[in-house]
Structure 1
């Protein structure tokens, strides 16, 4: 990363800066070998690769689920787009729990206190259960009105809304377990342990991938079978993460002072996540106005985008753990070097993903739906999708740097700005002017690019790097 006095012309390579090590390493580096290892690419990769497997497991299952449901027809796939979009709120809350927990745990771990680090995970588990119970309550009351509002008017809209409501009322029962799993991944990442969560998530995802087609087709549950498979997988995953925290033998009682601090950190991440959800839910609502084939095509593109985003987030997870640990140990210079390297790695991964998707784009729609109208509608999103991936690689990586540093107030403001100035105006224009799927994905492009500019400016400024066990 560049220091505050370093000049830059704003391009990604110049903003990320040179790769040299700091001359004035922290004097106590020799006393903390685990943290001292973190300055190189090897340590980043050692954490990022298992995190990558964990991150792609869930969206890979969702892609399989989308393909299974897609062969039921355009209406069930459109219903899955509505229901899945609403259940993505649980994923948003889970990301808040995981990311907020990782940053705090990593700082405790970097300061040399693993017991206090894991205790943060216990408290975030209580928050997970409370949030999951609240989701069940909200869906039990409001599932019908919400799905009808998003599905639009007309015969197709009514049928889509009814199917989406059925799916949602079943799927929401997995929310507490999904959030427990997110909390568990958060504290494990903070103590730089990524292999155990990888095994847990892979086992549960494999189970759900087997269950979904069996429940949907031979057993005849149809779209509801998709929801049941989701719930089963989430219960298994949550139970395994509960077991993982029990074997640590740390105190399990609620600690209200810690819960209050976690809630304070979560506030900014919740607002940031709310901006994401507003954008994506409004995009689905606008897509629904153009008919079931367009909404189904948007669902395919959106799930592929989430898959790519979470895969690229493996670098961000390494950033959270390693940058947080360096700052917790008081080594600001090493944290800055880590941020710079992580930005470069994110750029490289984004370019690789863009090349892969470019080669696969002609074949992807047919994997999810045999409907020619869905395939034709999806053609409008691929140029936007592919062009965004390199920039997204940098954005996701630097998001991880700032979360690990606890610089969440800046992230909140940046995301709100990107939503209000980038995404939402184009979504509104798309609905008003009939711009279709291309207009929706132009909005997503603006959302990413505004964040890229803001993150590179923050990286150059350096105000995010504050030392200490907590921030």
Structure 2
């Protein structure tokens, strides 16, 4: 029954709750950034953080598959007890992510200038965003390493360790934010430096894992296995599917921010704050998406159809529960939170005006977030790619060619985008389960 909790449900919560807690700390860092910038008395700082964050997120989310693919492949190998292949997988993902991060850093000036050139914002906002990005982009290699390490711990169902890593890194970021801005009187560069230092603290966690992780010590991997092109190529193909999916998703977010910026600094600042609320929700629900990756991947590794169905049912049920809680929370505390974030009256009024769209998107997006995890755990990445291409195309057609250009219609197009993703993925799940195409 929908409200009856089985032993399997309790295991789902054991895996998911630490991930929900750790995931929510990620957008909380962005929220703290907004709070600190919001009380400096200028819309420019909030807008600059918003643009800078969306550009850096564009890069990171485009390659966000690194953690998801690590989780999915590790969980399948852990389910089949194939630890040799598990660590070979990690080596291959390390090689792929190292190449990506070095390429990004080499072309960093072109990436920053090109990205800011696409944004329809004021010169002052762009100048401050550039300062932020020139520091922040150097954290990308550390973030990729963190994603691989956390993906490994999630895939082996040790989510409390993954939670501890995320919480410590993000709390350090918040503390350093306060130190640089209020103690050292830095401006926007203080936010970027705080993020940079906190992200590289992951090195200490990697050293800890190398010292105390026991499962890999009896495994012998030679260079021929690690540099086996056929094996690497298979993972690159999976990663390309996920890259396309993530790239389109972030293109939609970037277009949303760019279009909002064209409506003025007030709308840009309001949309930035509301998107931070959205990211708190999405990262929270992603806790059950990650649990789906682990449990579905484990059932695939064990080739256990009953376990697969239980995994899908349990994580889906809890995703809906959590979405309802988020809607209730933001309905009660959304406006008070806006007053905490900024004391600029025009931004407050604008954000309150568009708050209703957030609740509608929460409801429409939760199924898509949950099913992302199910399809990643099953390594059905082509389906995720195809759904994203179709949904993203509809978003752009509506926003560019059909809807009248204003901020309400921008949010409406966003709502259609998430609703369509949820409907298509729900249909594909039912279609594939009925035809036994998972196991």
Question: Normalised by the size of structure 1, how large is the TM-score?
Answer: 0.86
Alignment of 1:51 with 2:19, yes or no, is yes
Alignment of 1:338 with 2:311, yes or no, is yes
Alignment of 1:417 with 2:382, yes or no, is no
Residue of structure 1 aligned with 2:235, choices 262, 271, 274: 262
Quote the Cα distance in structure 2 between the aligned partners of 1:272 and 1:144: 24
Q: Structure 1, residues 152-189: CA drift from partner, whole Å, max 9, x if none? A: 4xxxx111111111110100010100111011111221
Instruction: Show the counterpart of 2:415.
Output: 445
Quote the Cα distance in structure 2 between the aligned partners of 1:374 and 1:259: 49
Q: Structure 1, residues 258-305: CA drift from partner, whole Å, max 9, x if none? A: 322211111111110111111011111111111111101111011111
164 and 20 in structure 1: CA distance in 2 versus 1, 3 angstrom threshold = closer
Quote the Cα distance in structure 1 between the aligned partners of 2:399 and 2:207: 41
142 and 454 in structure 1: CA distance in 2 versus 1, 3 angstrom threshold = closer
Alignment of 1:49-198 (within 5 A): 49-72=17-40, 73-152=42-121, 157-198=122-163
Alignment of 1:283-432 (within 5 A): 283-421=256-394, 423-428=395-400
Question: Normalised by the size of structure 2, how large is the TM-score?
Answer: 0.91
- Shift of residue 106, structure 1, vs aligned partner: 1.1
169-178 vs 96-105, greater mean Cα deviation: 96-105
* Aligned Cα root-mean-square deviation (Å): 2.3
Provide structure 1 residue ranges, at least 5 long, that are not aligned to the other structure.
1-17, 22-37
Checking the alignment, whether the CA contact within 8 Å between 2:432 and 2:438 is kept in structure 1 is no
Alignment of 1:172-251 (within 5 A): 172-241=137-206, 243-245=208-210, 247=213, 248-249=216-217, 250=219, 251=221
Q: How many aligned residue pairs are there?
A: 428
Instruction: Show the counterpart of 1:4.
Output: none
Checking the alignment, whether the CA contact within 8 Å between 2:12 and 2:314 is kept in structure 1 is no
100-109 vs 87-96, greater mean Cα deviation: 87-96
Quote the Cα distance in structure 2 between the aligned partners of 1:252 and 1:378: 56
Checking the alignment, whether the CA contact within 8 Å between 1:69 and 1:76 is kept in structure 2 is yes
